[in-house]
Amino acid sequence: MSIRKTARLLVGLAGVGILVAACGTSSTSSSPGAPGGQGFQAPNLPALSALGQPEGELSVLAWPGYAENGSNDPKVDWVTPFEKETGCKVSVKPFGTSDEAVTLMKTGQYDVVSASGDASLRLIAAGDVEPVNTALIPNYADVYDFLKNKPWNSVNGAAYGVPHGWGANVLTWRSDKVTPAPDSWSVMFDANSPYKGKITAYDSPIYIADAALYLMKTKPDLGIKNPYALDDKQFQAAVDLLKVQRPMVSEYWSDYLKESQSLKSGDSVVGTAWQVTVNLTKSEGAPVESVLPKEGATGWSDTWMVSAKSPHKTCAYKWMNHIISPQANAQVAEYFGESPANAKACALTTDTKHCDNYHAGDAAYAAQIHYWTTPIVQCLDGRTDVKCKDYSEWTRAWTEIKG
Amino acid sequence: MDPRLDRDQGLRMTVSSPRYAVSSYLYRRPKLRLGMLLSAPFLWLGLAYLGALAALFVTAFWHTDSFTGQVVTEWSLDNFKTLFTDTVYRTITFRTVWIAALVTVIDAVIAFPMAFYMAKFASPRAQRILVIAVMTPLWASYLVKAYAWRTMLSGNGVLHWLLNPFGLDGPGYGLPATVITLSYLWLPYMILPIYAGLERLPNSLVDASGDLGAKAGRTFRSVILPLTFPAIVAGSIFTFSLSLGDYIAVKIVGGTSQMLGNVVYDNIGAANNLPFAATVATVPVVIMLVYLAAVRRTGALDNL
């Protein structure tokens, strides 16, 4: 190739590169809105004022087990009745961590998302989700009051979604290999844990909060009030604790099926888990148990939110109304192993004690769980004299902890 | 009838058709012909390969808004500063290179005798069967093989059961498990180039070496190894680069360890920090460029 041709080729390549790069850039401009009470600006987006005709399609981004259409278990299906009732054809995409949900919502391909508290505020701030007009959702009236207008699902009194249900990240163990039954997170954090090398922990930066929660109870002099509001010293202590834990961990999990398999094979005998994982592992014959340890636990209180870019908003509102209807809410709560948001769901669970077991409607118990929240620079516990570590620092620290 | 006349008639008929016009036009312009033939692959190479690499490199200089996660297109070297100053990334880089090097060495040591037998001792029929046997694992999915190793390496898996009577224990999940799995996965990519290299080595050279009084070891060191070295290096390019970019095997059998690929993956999936992922992704690219530049002199690139 002659030099001239080569030069022309290179210029062409550079042009293509710049073009591709430019296409990949998302716009950073966002309209200034009312300053939020949580230290960030929520973009000024209108809520839907009236429902139209269902658009015939709905794309759902959900935690595994939240939108079951019978493909995992023919008896577990609350999507098909919704499709029949509204004519909205549902496609479901499950995700494994809140971070994954936030990334996927940015594509604008999904109409509704079941967001935990560590995703919801980020979605609101980025303008990926819009306020929800709860007057258009009849079942909203039956939702427990202590779940409405919380810092993770509203900004300045404007609701950004409907509460779905809540639960705790429980401590699970193989009852045949772990005796006596543990009642404290110390089996996972103590450097002399007898289950060294057989521990499994959640693979996400938000897991730092679990260490902070443990320190909150075991080292009160650190003064941690909220495991999501950590100043430099508190954050360092939590990170150090996790670095002590790391050599004792057999595996980190973000896929609940991988954790279930690891518990079944005995490669992990104790770990943090969702109740649904415990139920699944138990149903496959492995002797596992779970408990809410005495230190308390982190947990989730999930919210169904609607994408600002959704072209199927009527279907989205119909879905939100359906998923918190007594029947569907009872099915989800039982399948996933959590407390339903709708008070009327408790009468419809197949296990009549389900709501008692999960303390549904027990506001005092719910207050003990530290729900996943996105850590931001402004301390969430109200301190104004220090700066807290924000989520990007948590992410960086998580890489460092894993080493 | 004269057959020549018949042919002329046929020619005249095709002259009038548009297809003939196009083909005769192209016949007179060989460069245009070549250009059209190559434009599709070149577009693919340019856009999908080099264009993507250029975009990657450009993105590496941007950063994301820490709360909303949106990409901010301001130029800065902060990502590279983090990459070079944070010890954790250095540790991960060294670990990854070390794993890739170890996998390459293990594969070379296992592959050479196998390839040698295949090329020099097996009958032509056995040769064909052996080549197929080496390739069969490539028919199975990567994930199936990695999960098979996960089951075998498990605390109550086959390895544990085999080693237990000798008072030993399997390696469990971790770096050794990762090296074993990767060595297994990439072995065919090492065997085939070495086999091809050994096949090209004339037997007469080996015989001549023997006739001149060299013992087997000497022949291997002075004749066979230097002549097949480019082939080994060619194989190592595959095993090294494939291991360098791998992040799935280590997630399945690596326990808590992470490689460069995991850092990239976590920054895209978990942290939603595409610019930093791009910065980290330039590391293996640079390592591979250095590696390729180093092996170019051995003539290995002609052996691929």
- Are A392 and B66 in contact (CB < 8 Å)? yes
User: What would the two tokens of residue A279 be?
Assistant: 């139920």
Chain B contacts in chain A segment 161-200 (CB below 8 A):
197
Could you tell me which residue, A353 or A207, shows the higher pLDDT? A207
If asked whether residues A155 and A183 sit together in one domain, one would say: no
Q: Does A32 touch chain B (CB under 8 A)?
A: no
Let me know: does B198 contact B231? Beta carbons within 8 Å: yes
**Residue for token pair 């000798």:** B166
The answer, for A202 touching chain B at a CB cutoff of 8 Å, is no
Domain count, chain A: 2
Instruction: Decide if pLDDT at A368 tops 80.
Output: no
B10-24, B34-48, B93-107, B213-227, range with the lowest pLDDT: B10-24
Query: Rounded distance, CA B283 to CA B277, Å?
Result: 10
pLDDT of residue A377 exceeding 60, the answer is yes
CB atoms A103 and B88 under 8 Å? no
Does A40 contact B65 at a Cβ distance shorter than 8 Å? Answer: no
Please, is A52 exposed, middle or buried when counting C-beta atoms within 10 Å of its C-beta (0-12, 13-18, 19+)?
exposed
Q: Name the amino acid, one letter, at A327.
A: Q
State whether A390 and B66 contact (CB < 8 Å).
Answer: yes
| Residue A265, min C-alpha distance to chain B (Å) | 7
First to last CA, chain A: 47
Closest C-alpha among A241, A214, A401 to residue A295: A214
User: Are both A337 and A224 inside the same structural domain?
Assistant: no
pLDDT digits (tens, 9 = 90+) for B140-168: 999 999 999 998 988 778 888 888 888 77
Q: Is the pLDDT of residue B5 over 70?
A: no
The residues in B 257-276 lying below 8 A from A, measured between CB atoms, are 257-258, 263, 266, 268-273
In a domain, A2, yes or no: no
| Nearest C-alpha neighbor of B68 from the set A254, A358, A127, A334 | A127
A window 102-121, beta carbon within 8 A of B: 102-103, 106
Same domain, A96 and A119: yes
Candidate from B52, B59, B269 with C-beta closest to A103? B269
How many helices (DSSP H) and strands (DSSP E) are in chain A? 14, 15
Residues of B in contact with A26 (CB under 8 A): 70-71
User: pLDDT digits over B65-89, tens only?
Assistant: 766 667 888 888 888 988 898 889 9
Q: Alpha-carbon distance A186 to A248, whole Å? A: 12
Q: Dump pLDDT digits (tens) for B180-189.
A: 999 999 999 9
Are A77 and A144 part of one and the same domain? yes
Peptide bond into A138 cis (omega under 30): no
**Domain range annotation of chain B:** 3-59, 76-303
Residue in A closest to B278 by C-alpha: A21
Give the pLDDT band of residue A242 (cuts 50, 70, 90). Answer: very high
Percentage of chain B modeled with pLDDT above 90: 45
- Give yes or no: residues A291 and A200 share one domain: yes
Q: Is residue A21 part of a domain?
A: no
Q: What is the pLDDT of residue A150?
A: 86
By the 8 A CB rule, do B84 and A141 touch? Answer: no
Dump pLDDT digits (tens) for B189-247: 999 999 999 999 999 998 999 899 989 899 999 999 999 999 999 999 999 999 999 99
In a domain, A29, yes or no: no
Q: Is B69 on the interface with A (CB under 8 A)?
A: yes
Averaged over A165-177, what is the pLDDT?
Answer: 92
Task: Identify the band that residue A1 occupies on the pLDDT scale cut at 50, 70 and 90.
Answer: very low
Query: Which residues of chain A are within 8 Å of residue B58 when distances are taken between CB atoms?
Result: 17-18, 21
Q: Which two tokens stand for residue B252?
A: 């399945």
CB-CB contact of A226 with A383 (8 Å)? no
Contacts of A251 in chain B (CB under 8 A): 173, 255-256
Confidence of residue A14 (pLDDT cuts 50, 70, 90): very low
CATH number at A310 reads 3.40.190.10
Contacts of A197 in chain B (CB under 8 A): 172
Residue A393: pLDDT over 50 = yes
Query: What are the start-end ranges of the H helices in chain B?
Result: 3-16, 18-28, 30-43, 52-59, 78-85, 87-120, 124-135, 142-153, 158-163, 175-200, 203-211, 216-219, 225-244, 248-253, 260-269, 274-296
Contact B60, B52 (CB under 8 A): no
Chain A to chain B, count of Cβ pairs less than 8 Å apart?
130
Same domain, A188 and A108: no
Residue B298 C-alpha, separation from nearest chain A C-alpha, in angstroms: 25
Q: What is the DSSP letter of A47?
A: P
Compare all CA atoms of chain A with the CA of B252 and give the residue at the minimum distance. Answer: A258
Q: Does A29 touch chain B (CB under 8 A)?
A: no
**Are B88 and A400 a contacting pair at CB < 8 A?**
yes
**Is B48 in CB contact (< 8 Å) with chain A?**
no
Q: What's the mean per-residue pLDDT of chain B?
A: 87
Do residues B73 and A25 touch, judged by C-beta distance below 8 A?
yes
Residues of A whose CB is below 8 A from B53: 17
Kindly state whether A41 is in contact with chain B, defined as any CB-CB distance less than 8 angstroms.
no
Within 10 angstroms of residue B5's Cβ, the number of other Cβ atoms is 9
Minimum CA–CA partner of B71 in chain A: A26
User: Do A286 and A398 have their domain in common?
Assistant: yes
- Do the strands A158-159 and A154-155 form a parallel or antiparallel pair, or are they unpaired? antiparallel
Residue B14 binned pLDDT confidence (cut-offs 50, 70, 90): low
A121 and A153 fall within a common domain: yes
Quote the DSSP letter at residue B72.
E
Any idea which of A24-33, A138-147, B12-21, B47-56 has the lowest mean pLDDT? A24-33
Write down the pLDDT at residue A297: 92
Q: Same structural domain for residues A353 and A208?
A: no
Contact, B136 vs B164, CB < 8 A? no
Pick the more confident residue, A99 or A320: A320
- Structural domain including A62 reads 57-166+299-366
Q: Does some domain include residue A178?
A: yes
Contacts of A24 in chain B (CB under 8 A): 55, 59
B-contacting residues of A 250-289, CB under 8 Å? 250-252, 265-267
What is the pLDDT averaged over residues A59-77? 89
Instruction: Pick the closest to residue A116 from A135, A136, A95 (CA basis).
Output: A95
- CB-nearest to A13 from B51, B172, B257 is B51
Confidence band (pLDDT; 50, 70, 90) for A42?
A: confident
* pLDDT of amino acid B212: 92
Q: In this predicted model, which residue has the larger pLDDT, A394 or B272?
A: A394
CATH number of B76-303: 1.10.3720.10
User: Residues A157, A174: one domain?
Assistant: no
Give pLDDT, residue A122: 86
* Chain B residues near residue A246 by CB distance under 8 angstroms: 256
- Across the interface, of B55, B69, B92, the residue whose CB is closest to A126 is B69
